[in-house]
Every structure is written in structure tokens, then in C-alpha cells.
Amino acid sequence: NAGVTQTPKFRVLKTGQSMTLLCAQDMNHEYMYWYRQDPGMGLRLIHYSVGEGTTAKGEVPDGYNVSRLKKQNFLLGLESAAPSQTSVYFCASKTVTGLAVNYNEQFFGPGTRLTVL
């Protein structure tokens, strides 16, 4: 199993450009998440999805859109990138079955390092 994978690993954008980050998981997990990691601020939740075809806003959703057309994929879009979106983006997934489901253990991808000039 590959677990959670993310593409691309690195990207540099100019202000105003758009891009899509792809997250894929092969664990048949129901829930998927997009976070951003900034120095000194921990991981902050951007958007999440509790199932195919459903998405919802997290703590810092402005400037981002998401889609979950297939259970295994969760896409994060930046329509018009801004320097404030320079960050490391992590995708994660979680199952909703099992004895430890309340522990909310999430499995992470390796991250996408995005720089917006």
C-alpha cells in the first residue's frame, strides 16, 4: 500500500496563477483533510471531506476550493494564488470504523511545498 500520496512535491507560482494539488489514498478511508503548515503555527485545517461528493470548510478556507469526486482522491485548488499561501500543504485521511475511531488518528501524505512569488 502506498498510503497517502501527494502531487506535486514542490511548486513555485506567480501571484494570480492557479493550480491544483492532488491527494490520493489507497486505504479506503472515508474522511480526508487538507492542512497547511506554517512556521510557529502548527497544522491548520483548510477543508475536509467526510465522503465522496461532500466537502466542508475548516479553519482557514479562504482562497481555496476542494473537490472529492472519487473516494480515494481529494483535490485542493488555488484559483488565484497569493504570497500568503506560501506554505507546506498536507493531506490526511482517516477511517470511521474500528474500536479506536474516536481517537481520530489521521494518516498523512508527504506534503507539497508551495511558494508564491
Determine if the peptide bond prior to 83 is cis (ω within 30°).
no
Give the separation between CA 51 and CA 32, rounded to whole angstroms.
8
- Pick the closest to residue 64 from 48, 52, 50 (CA basis): 48
66 forms part of the interface with other proteins (CB under 8 A):
no
Q: Which three cell numbers stand for residue 9?
A: 512535491
36 forms part of the interface with other proteins (CB under 8 A):
no
Q: Which is nearer to other proteins, 17 or 107 (CB)?
A: 107
60 forms part of the interface with other proteins (CB under 8 A):
no
Q: Which is nearer to other proteins, 16 or 53 (CB)?
A: 53
Task: Summarize as ranges the residues that interact with other proteins (CB under 8 A).
Answer: 3-4, 9, 31, 40-45, 48, 50, 56, 90, 94, 96, 100-111
